[in-house]
A and B are shown apart, each in its own frame.
Chain A
Amino acid sequence: MIAYLGRRLIQSLLILLGVSLITFALLYLLPADPVRQIAGRSATPQTVENIRQQLGLDQPFVIQYWRYLTRLISGDLGRSYIQRSEVTELIVSRLPASLLLMVGAILCELLIGLSMGLIAAVKRGTATDQTLMVASFVGVSAPQFVVGLLLLYVFAVRLSWFPIGGYGTWRHLVLPSLTMGILGAGWYARMMRSSMIDVLRQDYVRTARAKGLARRAILFRHALPNAILPVIAMIGIDIGIFMGGIVVVESVFGWPGIGQLAWQAIQRVDIPIIMGVTLVSAFAIVLGNLLADIIAPFIDPRIKLR
């Protein structure tokens, strides 16, 4: 186990290094010039040149990247070009909001998706099954900004059950979490359904029935733990999709997380923030996958971490 964790940690660091290199290179090759954004339209060529030198952007790529990397190792993500404050501070101040949203979204998609999939599998071939699968299809295919606006209109504007936007109480959390969760719930419902149908066909489910167990015991004790395994592996991958969704959903609901920060930074070519947010996202994805892999053996004893 410890050997496994050690090896995975080394792998994770290499992945993060790769992500930093690729992102840095892409930003370097970007035709947009961050110095122009900082200096403004009326700045003289001299001022622009001065700023460029100040930020070290006149240096060749290798040196720029090396400087960034050495600072990164000591935990320094650099300073924002526009906001004039440390990127680390900016991210740390906004991270809790995003994490909260992510936890809410994961809960939503698991609760909605898994129960939909479970019911559909048990009621396979009936009208319930078909209705649920159509619903999941809608969930998968509806764009998040549309879902977000629709939820806002119905539950905040018309029914006034939840606030229109902002951050603070659990009521603020519901609609953004739902918006993010519906997409994943659609996927999970479909995955859970096919996985469950597969498991319900297995010999050990027949054995459980032959033992005279109650339906509930067969479903939840015998079938569910076997069916949920592929879904758990999916959660790790899902965090990557979340990072994309967070940018949209945080803008729609005015949620003060790193998605909003990233959106602003992208518009102004604020390279240190873009780099910082990308690395934090990559870290979250790596961590999510690692967690999913660590949880798996607790559900299926056949899986050994080596």
Chain B
Amino acid sequence: MNAGAGKKHAGAAAPATAGPVLDIAGLSVSVRGEDGERDVVSNLSLTLARGETLCIAGESGSGKSMTALAIMQLLPQPAARISSGKIRLRTGDLGDTDLATLDERQMRRIRGDRIAMIFQEPMTSLNPVLSIGRQLTESIEAHTSLSQAQARQRAIEALKAVRISEAESRLKQFPHELSGGMRQRVMIAMALALEPDVLIADEPTTALDVTVQGEVLELLRDLQRQHGTSVILITHDMGVVAEMADRVIIMRHGRMVEEGTTSDIFARPQADYTRELLAAVPRIGTGAGRQKSGDAETAAPANVAVVNDLHVRFDLRGGIFGRVNRRVHAVEGISFSIAPNETLALVGESGCGKSTTAKALAGLVPYSGDIVIGGRNLSGLGRDERKAVRRDVQMIFQDPFASLDPRMRVGDLVAEPLVIHGIASKDERSQRVAALFERVGLSADQMELYPHEFSGGQRQRVCIARALALRPKLIIADESVSALDVSVQARVLDLLKELQREFGVAYLFISHDMAVVENISDRVAVMYLGQIVEMGTRDQVFSNPRHPYTRRLIEAVPVPDPAQRRSRFARLDQEIPSATRRIGEAPLKLALRDVGNGHLVAADA
């Protein structure tokens, strides 16, 4: 960085800075709730060496994010507070400071300057009404005596450092004009512009698509090497841990369960919990046992659902008379079929049209093309008939918190589909619901409870019970396990498989997570920009991916094994283009060709 009026770091190797840059001893964080004060972090001690990447891994509620917020003194006020412990920061010019004793004004000088933080959601972590330039320069101006022009110059350098092209013109843009990956890079630029001693990254890639995740991780690693920044990386993803960490701390219920070097933790985990956690992580290449024997193919049962040349387009209006002048081509002529007892996975990154396809199947968006369910084409049917056919298609959504009405008892929620379709008497209904509860691993006496009294995994079980209530032939699972912790995720996936064996229900399993898809699917369709670019059996797609996009998707998944750490991640040549086009500029339809045994690949490969 050129600005001489800037600051510090001359003493980065001075003797005063020997030893760990951050030294946490006996940290406890407590949260005041209705039933008194409760520790969310108890007696945590850790050190962070200079230039080191320390991963804090754990599932939700493990206290990993609370630890990060405690270091920054950003704990949610007034409920949470540091109840005991020391957080000592050692830097060249400030010497040894206990952050836990600093007041707000003193802490402000540390934040952003000595310790910077990036967050999980790049979409909401940038202020929507301020330009990128303003948000970058304001922190530079707050911590240095640089002039406006110098701050701007440094902001441009920071953007270049995170490999953002046309950095100068980006300063004028607003967050909503950038993609998710770009926004997270802006966040990183913002955090590193002042060359902090410590960078805390709280789930920095969790909200990103897998190919973008690789880029961001690689960027973080490169920048850390260049500047010697110490990084605390908080994540639930053991793949990310293996890829990034020098040392790992595993946390559970606010306590450290295990600490060690990355290779030790993965190769020789000591604590039971660590072993469980690692075992639950879905890995590509472990789903092989599931492949169906050929008899399902030979029997050739009637398909549960057949989709033929499905299009979903959304019109955008503009001009003085509000005419349609642009169109979002969300789904562009896709065709597939699902047999009973089969799981077809639809994979792709955000905006590829996979969820829109699901909505069309469930009758939630208007479409053109044919959807045939149980042998009946929906487009030829009247309202009532369509409703009857739709009974055979049920959905499970991503967010079990948002998809259950908080004011209804879960028993009533599960019974609701039966009520809507006028099935069974009241007593029969409650019997059926009780049976469903037992079947999905809940107990019948939990029917009287409300959704907030359940954990995330239990709520998703309630959603599954609700989807099963009508004995559907097809269940659409739209990112249904994405919001769950890995150990819970594994159990929900097992439940889905069991239910399939028992009821013969077919799944359309929509996911961005290649490892989960590999674990559960029989067949896989890869979507890109509203079209299917590759479709085949799970083995065909995973062992012999033919389309370059499929390959990139598979390669980009971080492998939970430090021995397989990559120096370079698979990278997209450019950002995925927009699906919005002017009227009359329909996208080119990809022709699929069979490369053997029904393995279809788009011809552009």
Contact = CB atoms under 8 A, between A and B. Distances in A.
Interface of A: 2-3, 6-7, 202-204, 206-214, 217, 221-222, 225-226, 299-302, 306
A225 B129 CA distance: 7
Among A3, A6, A208: residue with most chain B CB under 10 A: A208
B115 to A, nearest CB: 9
Given A211-B111, A211-B138, A222 B127 contact: yes
Interface in B243-295: none
Nearest to B134: A221
Given A214-B142, A306-B317, A203 B124 contact: yes
A7 B322 contact: yes
Interface in B79-133: 108-113, 116-117, 119, 121, 124-131
B126 A204 contact: yes
- Looking at chain A's contact residues, the main secondary structure is helix
B589 interface: no
B312 interface: no
B138 A213 contact: yes
Given A3-B319, A207-B127, A212-B142, 16 more contacts: A7-B322, A202-B124, A204-B127, A206-B119, A206-B125, A207-B119, A208-B127, A209-B111, A211-B111, A212-B112, A213-B112, A213-B138, A300-B129, A302-B174, A302-B176, A306-B317
A221 B319 CA distance: 34
Given A3-B319, A7-B322, A210 B126 contact: no
B583 to A, nearest CB: 15
Q: 6 closest Cβ contacts across the A-B interface?
A: A212-B112, A212-B111, A211-B112, A211-B139, A203-B124, A3-B320
Interface string B306-331: 00000000000111111000000000
Contacts of A214: 108, 142
B138 to A, nearest CB: 6
Contacts of B119: 203, 206-207, 210
B526 interface: no
Contact of B128 (A6, A212, A226): A226
Given A217-B138, A221-B138, A302-B174, A210 B111 contact: yes
A210 B74 contact: yes
Contacts of A204: 124-128
A221 B130 CA distance: 8
B517 interface: no
A152 B113 CA distance: 56
B190 interface: yes
Contacts of B124: 202-204
B581 interface: no
Contacts of A6: 320
Contacts of B338: none
Contact of A301 (B110, B116, B129, B321): B129
Contact of A212 (B113, B129, B176, B317): B113
Contact of A209 (B74, B109, B319, B321): B74
A203 B125 contact: yes
Contacts of A206: 74, 119, 125
B143 interface: yes
Given A213-B142, A217-B138, A207 B125 contact: yes
Nearest to B193: A211
Contacts of B322: 7
B532 interface: no
Given A202-B124, A207-B126, A225-B129, A212 B110 contact: yes
Contacts of A208: 127
A7 B320 contact: yes
Given A212-B143, A213-B138, A226 B129 contact: yes
